[in-house]
Structure 1
């Protein structure tokens, strides 16, 4: 137990022992500057410098185009191309679907699979003769609530 106490005191004494770092002009031996240091100060300074250097490097890589040079990160132009290709693929799929429906309809007509639709002429004539004045255009309660919400929402938007 006494041995441990001696080691701790010796270690603490080494950490706190003062040293002087002097920088001299070699030609004239003139003292340019000097520092009073101990091992603890050097250790703390080195640790803080390493943490700062790591943080600076991380920030530099994360928020600048340098990240494109790290394997695993894709370039911004590649991401833009991927998004554009996704939009084009989606629109092409929709166009293909419409074309497939059109071709299927033409095949039905050519093969004679078209079903005849019963058409009631009286209902068409009736719909054309309806009076426009009969339609109720007064706002409903839900419509009024929606209009109030939109007007409040747009109040501060120019």
Structure 2
């Protein structure tokens, strides 16, 4: 055999060799506990223990409310509130624009730039009106699948 193989064999033999762990009472020299181990067994047991500990910690962080304390994660309730507030802000902005147009038209009437008969709040509102029937509003196959997936995730939490 070559030197390299001999060294490798000697290394594996040394880590497979059985050793004895003994715990002795120091005052009476009585053996309290004895265990036969090898370096390979201790290494494997330590590795499995570390993997188990990491897995349990990851599971606890990922699937419990503890994840909300980690920067970057937020609660589902917070996400829903943010979405609703965004929708409300958009609708308020739209309403504000409509009111601004109405006030501008009233100012024109009061200053005499426009005749009163031509100013109608309904006509101002109709100018911003978009007919939804012009667009295809039916959900596609991908959107329906996404909706089902979101509903399943919301039910889990």
When normalised by structure 1's length, the TM-score is 0.57
Deviates more, 1:55-64 or 1:40-49: 55-64
Cα distance in 2 for residues equivalent to 1:57 and 1:68 = 15
Q: Secondary structure at the match of 1:93?
A: helix
Q: Write out per-residue CA displacement over residues 124-153 of structure 1, whole angstroms, 9 at most, x where no aligned residue.
A: xxxxxxxxxxxxxxxxxxxxxxxxxxxxxx
Q: Shift of residue 13 of structure 1?
A: 0.7
Q: Secondary structure at the match of 1:13?
A: helix
Q: Which has the larger radius of gyration?
A: 1
Map of 1:112 onto structure 2: 114
In structure 2, the CA distance between the partners of 1:29 and 1:75, relative to structure 1 (3 Å rule), is farther
In structure 2, the CA distance between the partners of 1:102 and 1:41, relative to structure 1 (3 Å rule), is same
Contiguous gaps of at least 5 residues in structure 2: 120-157
Q: Shift of residue 84 of structure 1?
A: 3.6
In structure 2, the CA distance between the partners of 1:23 and 1:87, relative to structure 1 (3 Å rule), is farther
Report how many aligned residue pairs link the two structures: 116
Contiguous gaps of at least 5 residues in structure 1: 117-158
Q: Shift of residue 5 of structure 1?
A: 1.4
Q: Shift of residue 86 of structure 1?
A: 1.1
Q: Write out per-residue CA displacement over residues 35-65 of structure 1, whole angstroms, 9 at most, x where no aligned residue.
A: 2211111111111111111111111112223
Deviates more, 1:94-103 or 1:106-115: 106-115
Cα distance in 2 for residues equivalent to 1:71 and 1:8 = 47
Cα distance in 1 for residues equivalent to 2:55 and 2:90 = 42
Q: Aligned Cα RMSD in Å? A: 3.0
